[in-house]
Structure 1
Amino acid sequence: MDAEKKAQIQAHARGLATLLYEETDPEQVKTLAGIEAAVRGHLLEHVSPEIGGFFIATSSGTTSGRKRSLDSILGQLQVSEKQAQILEVKAYTRWSPYLEQCCLLVSANQSYERAAEDIEVLTGVKVSHSTQQRLVHRQTFELPQVEEPVEEMSVDGGKVRLRTPQGQPSEWRDYKAVNLHECRVAAFFQDNESLVNWVNGQPLSKPLTCLGDGHDGIWNIYAQVGTAAQRREILDWYHLVENLGKVGGSQQRLNEVEACLWQGNVEGAIAQFEDWQHERVSIFIAYLNRHRERIVNYGYYQAEGISVGSGAIESTVKQIGRRIKISGAQWDKDNVPQVLKHRCAYLNGQFSK
């Protein structure tokens, strides 16, 4: 912008400021916070709708068609049918695309009631809690597509509380979350098929490191990902050590077993228990044999920069839980998939673009 245009804008701005100041409650301008609120209110009511309307008409090149009102971060705008088509405004909506995006960003982190309060503070625009909820459930959250080859992934389960009739105990149900390391995350409610299809639709590296804990359900999912020759299945080291700790007994023996397992030496680990017969030992040895092919040389893999723990997916489940497990939260079963998609879209940065 050249100096002449800047000077014109400053002159017009001072003229507007003079007019608006005269219409401001004297009590409101006694503090900077009051001035900020007053100026924003004037801008939303009198100034930015006019500027926005000019931009809309000039950019679209038309004013034809029946007009409708849109609430936006510029205040209330009038948009014609033709303008809405050209400027990619959804049909029948009362909310501008950017205001809607702001609402989705905020409500992905907290309750709809709190989102309504925060949106008003942040933008000066009122969007009720019921509208916040409707905005979420009318979205089509597309699952992300990864461009770079996926080298590592992890899968784990989380819990969501379903709404039940008053007086009946709560019901907790499982969902599955997947983290394509350093790429994207997703979550699926009682829909493992969609999870597998989404993962297989990504560019998968050869080999593809698949990390998981000892639950059979996780490995049943991995069995459908890529090919057997492509997958490098690794039992989460920290889960392995946690199960070792349940055996108890001599700390020296446990340290020796852990040292063997760190090198992927399953036989050496089992040999440490030859002189001790116990039910806990039998359970642990059965666990080792069940996952024998997934117990790798952890020390070598870690040195090569390959993940040996499923911390990434555990973090993902915790981050999803921060939204779906907020105090008192209960969800209609049919709404759970959309709520999970909403939260994951936020975690993937979809609303910050």
Structure 2
Amino acid sequence: MTPEEKKLLDSHVKEIAKILYKNAPPEKLETFEGIETTVRDQVLEHVNPKIGIFFISEKTGTDKGRIRKIRSCVGKILITRKQALRLGIEPYRRFSPLLEKCCLLLSANESFKEAEKDLKVLTGIEVGHSTHHRQVKKVDLSMPNVKQKLTEVCLDGGMVRLRSEKKGESAYWKEYKTGRLQGIYYGAFFQDNLSLTDWINSQNIGKILYCLGDGHDGIWKLYRNIADSQCRHEILDWYHLKENLYKIQASKKFLLTIEADLWQGFVEEAIKKLRKTKYVGVTNFIKYLSKHRHRLVNYMYFQAEQLSSVGSGAVESAVKQIDKRMQVVGAQWKYENLPQMLQLRCAYLNGQLAAPF
């Protein structure tokens, strides 16, 4: 922008400001926040749409066609059919791409009612909570692909509360499965294990695939359908191994000794020490170690060499991230809405909803 253009712009803006101020309710200008809100509301209604329309006309080079209204982050914009076609706006779309993205970002993190309130505060745009819900149901979300070779997978199960189809019956809980690839990419599937394994198998899998699990039999059964057995290296997550160790009713000093052995991969030494005691819970823990013996590694070495996320509770953290949205206070889901909502939460965690700049 040249100095002359800036000077001209300033003079026009000043004239616009005079008109807006003259038509602003005096009682709303008593505080700084009141002025902020008033200016934003007036600009959204009277100024931004006109600027948006001009930009669209200049860029598309046309103003022909049937006119329709699009709700956007800069206000309600009138756009013709040909303009919409040239800008890639689908027929019957009521929301601009950016406003839709804002709605999805909020809906991925909080209840639809809270999303309605927060959008109004953040942007000045009003979108009802039921509309937020409809936006989620119709959006097309694809699962992410790992950009490099896939060498680490974490699988776990989470719980969601479903609304009963029959009136008067209480809500009930169902399990969903989640996967986290390379410690970065999230995917969650409700009652659809095949789609989960297909998603993982579609990646560019490396020579060794470290598969982390929490000891639940259902998780290890899923791993049987992932990659080739020769490249699959199953590992019991350290967080859960340690959690089971501390169920033993023993002195802290003894438990720390066993923990140190297991951390360094000295499983047989740990079992020998355990068998010499009669602490409550020892027998069950020895059975636990024997069952998962082939999944126990030198955790200290794996962490030092950064081979896998074995020592960080990686398995459980994926579920916790997803449950922050799925288990908000009072949440009860319809069976048919769950898969899409899980995908939305994962899309947010994967950074797919971030606006491009």
* TM bucket normalised to smaller: over 0.9
Q: Among 319, 332, 335, which residue is 2:334 paired with?
A: 332
Alignment deviations for residues 215-260 of structure 1 (CA, whole Å, 9 cap, x no partner): 0111112222222222222111121122122232455543443333
| 8 Å Cα contact 1:161/1:330 also seen in 2 | yes
Q: Which position in structure 1 is the counterpart of 2:311?
A: 309
Supply the distance in 1 between the matched residues of 2:223 and 2:297 (Cα, whole angstroms): 17
**When the two structures are superposed, what TM-score results if normalisation uses the length of structure 2?**
0.93
Question: How many pairs align?
Answer: 353
- 2:348 alignment partner AA: Y
User: Equivalent residues in 2 for 1:221-240 (5 A)?
Assistant: 221-240=222-241
| Residues 163 and 170, structure 2, Cα contact 8 Å, conserved in 1 | no
> What amino acid maps onto 1:268 in structure 2?
E
Write the deviation string for residues 134-158 of structure 1: whole angstroms up to 9, x where unpaired. 0000111111122122332211111
Q: Give the equivalent residue in structure 2 for 1:159.
A: 159
Distance 1:204 1:319 in 2: 25
Q: CA deviation at 1:190?
A: 1.1
Matches of 1:207 and 1:249, distance apart in 2:
38
Please report the RMSD computed on the Cα atoms of aligned residues, expressed in angstroms.
1.8
1:88 paired to 2:88: yes
* 1:282 lines up with 2:289 in the alignment: no
CA offsets, 1:168-211, max 9 Å, x none?
Answer: 23210001111113431111111111111111122223322221
Deviation at 1:277, TM superposition (A): 6.3
Query: CA, structure 1 residues 100+84, in 2 after alignment: closer, same or farther (shift >3 Å)?
Result: same
Q: CA deviation at 1:26?
A: 1.9
SS state at 1:330 partner: coil
Rounded to whole Å, the distance in 2 between the matches of 1:129 and 1:193 is 33
Range that drifts further, 277-286 or 97-106: 277-286
3-state SS of the aligned residue for 2:76? strand
% identity of equivalent residues: 48
Gaps of 5+ in 2: none
Name the CA distance, whole Å, in 2 between partners of 1:30 and 1:281.
70
Kindly report which structure 2 residues correspond to 1:209-248, keeping only aligned pairs within 5 A, or say none. Answer: 209-248=210-249
Within-5 A mapping of 1:1-353:
1-164=1-164, 165-249=166-250, 251-276=252-277, 280-306=281-307, 307-309=309-311, 311-353=313-355
Q: Is the 8 A contact 1:181 1:312 kept in 2?
A: no
| Conserved? CA contact 2:299–2:311, under 8 Å | no
Letter in structure 2 aligned against 1:92:
Y
Q: Residues 276-300 of structure 1: CA distance to partner in whole angstroms, max 9, x if unpaired? A: 5688433322221221111111122
**SS at structure 1 position matched to 2:353:** helix
Does the residue aligned with 2:206 lie in a helix, a strand or coil?
strand
Greater than 6 Å deviation, 4+ residue runs:
none
User: Structure 1: any 5+ residue segments left out of the alignment?
Assistant: none
Whole-Å Cα distance in 2 between the matches of residues 334 and 16 of structure 1? Answer: 50
